[in-house]
Structure 1
Amino acid sequence: MPAVDQAANRFEHHIRSMGFRDSTINDYVNRLRRYLAFCDTISPDLADAERFRDSLIDRRLSRSSINNYSFVMKNYHQMIGAPIKLPFLKMGSKLPYYFDENDIRAIFNAITNIKYLCVLQIGFYASLRASEVANLDDSDIDLINKTIRIRGGKNDKDAILYLNDICIDTLRKYLKVRPKKIIDGKQPPPILQQQE
């Protein structure tokens, strides 16, 4: 096994013990691989870390991305017994741009596929992350009580969230036309029949 793969595997075990989620671990391991490739060694020093960080700044990456790389570098150096200090960039205080009501209506009206409309409405009306929408299962949806259960959301927390009538109506329409699928040898439960 190449040295970089060994270092990446060791780092993966190191950060897994910190309790990060799989998606975060994969992201951090990929960042480490890019860092080690840049340095062309599995034993970089502070000068290598600073050069790599400067290259990220030169590429105009976002502050949060640079800070994530800095976190990875600091933890990798700590793991190999050569701790380093890198400054974290202060996050900006600009308010994000928000779509107004007309923007949202225009987006929803432009969607002609019921499945995509359903996915976007659930994400929008319940304020979900893409990963939370992707992890939803039929058993998480309660059409009678107009709720969805989020499992392992931000900070690995579960939650019950409410959906409005517009979203529930779209969900019902989609579930009526959704093709039957067998996933891992099982058919998802016929939730619409149970809850109409």
Structure 2
Amino acid sequence: MIPIALDPRFARLAVAGNGALALRRFRALRAAGAADALLFSDAPDDEAVTEAGDQLRRALPGPDDLAALHVLWIVDLPRDRAEPLAAAARALRLLVNVEDVPPLCDFHSVAEVRRGDLLLTISTNGRAPGLAGMIRRNLELRYGAEWADRVAEIGTLRAGWQREGISMPEAAKRIAAIAADRKWLCDRVCDFAAPQPQG
């Protein structure tokens, strides 16, 4: 698998399915910045109707709907409905994920931890999602809410250094020094990342 971070401003995304799992995937896309993501559901419950609002389509996607998309998650549909939908999407060159059916997936959704602009992801190539979830919970404990501010601070410093013409290697050295000085990472990593003495 090839990991990428997809900017939802440049891709049309949708979820097709019914029930709590489809709504959870839709929420995850919205939380990741996909404000225009669509939810296709031919049996939406009241929660889906309320939450998806104008982004709800009260049917599964047809050919014209699919032609307007780039990526489709198919969630919580019986296989006899999910498989032909995935095939139709793939024929139009969409990337398709059929949740919990790895043979029908072009890609696998990752377990994730978000702290502002910091995104930590875990993938087991679709083979052990429960294990990926355990690792995600471990990372949530290790990387708390303070990491959002840390990333924002470093981002501001880096933008200033770029305006000053500081090279990438020098900026990386400065970031490593800040992280080591403030002990942002475990001692072993901080020791490894700290600038080495000269001479």
Higher strand share: 2
Higher helix share: 1
What is the TM-score normalised by the length of structure 1? Answer: 0.29
What is the TM-score normalised by the length of structure 2? Answer: 0.29
